[in-house]
Structure 1
Amino acid sequence: MTMTTPGARALADASAPASAPQDTPADDRRRRAAARRRRGLRDALAGWSFIGPGMVFVLGLSIFPAGWAFVLSLQKWNGFSTPKFVGLKNYTTLVSDAEFAQAVTQTGLFVLLFVPASVLAGLFLAVALNRQIRFIGFYRTAIFVPFVASAAATGILSTYLFSPQYGLVNNVLRVFGIPAQGWLEDPRQAMLVIAIMSLWGQAAFTTVIYLAALQDIPAELLEAAKVDGANPWQAFWRVVWPELAPVTVFVTIWQVIGAIQLFDLVYTTTRGGPLDATKTIVYFLWEKAFKGLEFGYGSAAAYVLFLITLLITIGVVVYARRKNLEAF
């Protein structure tokens, strides 16, 4: 039997490894928090690696051109010679430019003709298409087809329909004994024709937005209105229309912005004529910048257009919020 002396036991205890200290709950929480932060950082880096290149591309195509256009608006440059800094001269010249004032007036006229008509037409078509009838899918698709048609196709169709000599519209008028009209060749009627053709192509957008909003209205509200004795007209104005008010604010702002930027249909039909009756702000700045090679002057007109658009948008949003129509 082996005997262990006190000295041997002390030596064995000294050579044994020390036991590891026990983790406290606070240490465990800190370790889990650090692990979560590392996982969050990895997820964030993975997300930015996917969207980063696209974001750089989008910002490069928006912020850089906008900044460069502002610099150009303070210069006089024809695209070839050395730019000459002129400060705010381009902007002060725009204020007294009668041609620019006429372009602003014609753009405002188009907005007044197009925007209310497009909103009302979209609402009417959406209500008509918000029902379960035979071939409803075909009707909804047919309504949206003009929206995806190119501006060139719409312009060619406009020229064919409203030609004073051989246009289909004048041929129909002659059948009813009404004199032929000048349409696109008449300064008093050309902008009206542009508004009609824009309505034909763009009303589908408001229709789709309104249709989605109508389908999002709870059926219980309409059923409750019927139980209370409301007829379809009363149910629309008392139940449906208040639910559509925020959507109306959104589509109005969207259509106003699109109307202020009208260019393609004018370019493919009248080229700003006759007698500048359809020359809009965008066509004016395009003409100055790319035909007259006045890039600084055209850039100044573009920034004035941006300011007009911004002020109109802010005004509509402020009005909507005061009326508790939260569309944004």
Structure 2
Amino acid sequence: MKRLRAHSVEAHQQRMAYLFIAIPVLLLLVFLILPIGMALVVSFTDYDVVNAPNFLGFDNYVKMFQDQYFLIALRNTVVYVLLYVPLGLIVSLGTASLINMNKKGAAMFRTFFYVPVLCSTVATATIWYWLLNPQYGLINIVLGWFGINGPAWLYDSHWAMIAIVLMSVWMTFGTNMMIFIAGLQGIPQNLYEAARMEGANKWKTFRYVTWPSLSKTTFLVTTMLIINAFQVFDQAYILTKGGPGNSTMTLVYYIYNEGFGGLEMGYASAMSFVLFLIILVFAIINTRLNKTDNTI
């Protein structure tokens, strides 16, 4: 009797376990796997929302590499990634290191630097639109104190992308800073004590102790930075509308224009999958570069 009761309880637990697993799996299928599959099918058609789609084969994929605007958007996105990722890594790690050394004001500075992450992109863009104003913007005013004639940031094709990168770093480095702080606090203190006993200065301590110990944390942060960088859209859409002269037109911005502006959903879907492959390639490269010994 007890054995039957135990078997019944175990069977009930298994049914409940499958039920709890089934709900998130169902949501994953409906809201992620199914839309991805539908987008993949649409990428082989000329679907324009209004009319029935016509199958084109690989024409959309061939078309994008003959499309000068796609190539411009790809080049701009790569430039953005090359500027944003290293700068975001340096700023977040540098800020985390300073906060980690200052134990007294750590909580206050963590909160202060994390606030931009909580702000909406529209609010952040409004602030930076004022900061980057060529006539009365705070940045150009400060540069003027040192005798430097500040550029027309958002209105100059040579500086517009740099302006977007600065804004992006400011509004996102708080999250990466918190991750680095957690990584720094997880480094055993006996490693630093051994370095001091060997006579290592601060730079050598950072180079041979801190940096190797943060290898896994750095891999996580750089992966997040790369993925976010290739998906940049809000900043370019709000600040510059892709201008001036298409200098800030990114891949996601171009996909948005083609899909919702030109109603070329098939072409936009094809570009989306090419963007996914590009992100995947860069993520794999980042994995190879950050591959380290598990003993660290």
Q: Contact 2:77–2:230 at 8 Å: present in 1 too?
A: yes
**Which residue of structure 2 lines up, in the alignment, with residue 104 of structure 1?**
74
**Which residue of structure 2 lines up, in the alignment, with residue 15 of structure 1?**
none
CA displacement, residues 152-178 of structure 1 (integer Å, 9 cap, x when unaligned): 111111211111233222233334333
In the TM superposition, 1:8-19 aligns within 5 A as none
> Which one-letter code corresponds to 1:102 in the other structure?
I
How many residue pairs end up in the alignment?
295
**Which residue of structure 2 lines up, in the alignment, with residue 158 of structure 1?**
128
Give the deviation of 1:36 after TM superposition.
7.1
> Which one-letter code corresponds to 1:324 in the other structure?
D
- Bigger drift between 110-119 and 219-228 goes to 219-228
> Which one-letter code corresponds to 2:293 in the other structure?
N
**Which residue of structure 2 lines up, in the alignment, with residue 202 of structure 1?**
172
Q: Does 2:146 match 1:171?
A: no
Q: Does 2:273 match 1:299?
A: no
Cα 1:274–1:249 shift into 2, 3 Å? same
> For 1:116, which of 81, 86, 102 is the aligned residue?
86
Q: Which structure is richer in relative contact order (CA contacts within 8 A, separation 6 or more)?
A: 2
CA RMSD of aligned residues (A): 2.1
**Which residue of structure 1 lines up, in the alignment, with residue 247 of structure 2?**
277
Q: Does 2:199 match 1:233?
A: no
In the TM superposition, 1:70-85 aligns within 5 A as 70-85=40-55
**Which residue of structure 1 lines up, in the alignment, with residue 227 of structure 2?**
257
CA displacement, residues 22-55 of structure 1 (integer Å, 9 cap, x when unaligned): xxxxxxxxx97x9877655433332333343233
> Which one-letter code corresponds to 1:279 in the other structure?
M
**Which residue of structure 1 lines up, in the alignment, with residue 15 of structure 2?**
45
Q: Contact 1:213–1:244 at 8 Å: present in 2 too?
A: yes
Q: Does 2:284 match 1:311?
A: no
Identity of aligned residues (%): 36
Q: Contact 1:225–1:235 at 8 Å: present in 2 too?
A: yes
> For 1:221, which of 163, 180, 191 is the aligned residue?
191
Unaligned 5+ segments in structure 1 are 1-30
In the TM superposition, 1:121-136 aligns within 5 A as 121-136=91-106
CA displacement, residues 137-190 of structure 1 (integer Å, 9 cap, x when unaligned): 111111111112111111111211111233222233334333242100100100
Give the deviation of 1:211 after TM superposition.
0.6
1 CA distance for matches of 2:9 and 2:224? 41
SS in 1 for 2:199: coil
Q: Contact 1:114–1:195 at 8 Å: present in 2 too?
A: yes
**Which residue of structure 2 lines up, in the alignment, with residue 17 of structure 1?**
none
> Which one-letter code corresponds to 1:170 in the other structure?
N
Cα 1:236–1:66 shift into 2, 3 Å? same
**Which residue of structure 1 lines up, in the alignment, with residue 293 of structure 2?**
324
Unaligned 5+ segments in structure 2 are none
**Which residue of structure 1 lines up, in the alignment, with residue 156 of structure 2?**
186
Q: Contact 2:152–2:159 at 8 Å: present in 1 too?
A: yes
Q: Contact 2:77–2:250 at 8 Å: present in 1 too?
A: yes
TM-score, normalisation: structure 2: 0.92
2 CA distance for matches of 1:253 and 1:231? 30
- Bigger drift between 312-321 and 205-214 goes to 312-321
**Which residue of structure 2 lines up, in the alignment, with residue 4 of structure 1?**
none
SS in 2 for 1:62: helix
1 CA distance for matches of 2:20 and 2:230? 35
1 CA distance for matches of 2:202 and 2:44? 58
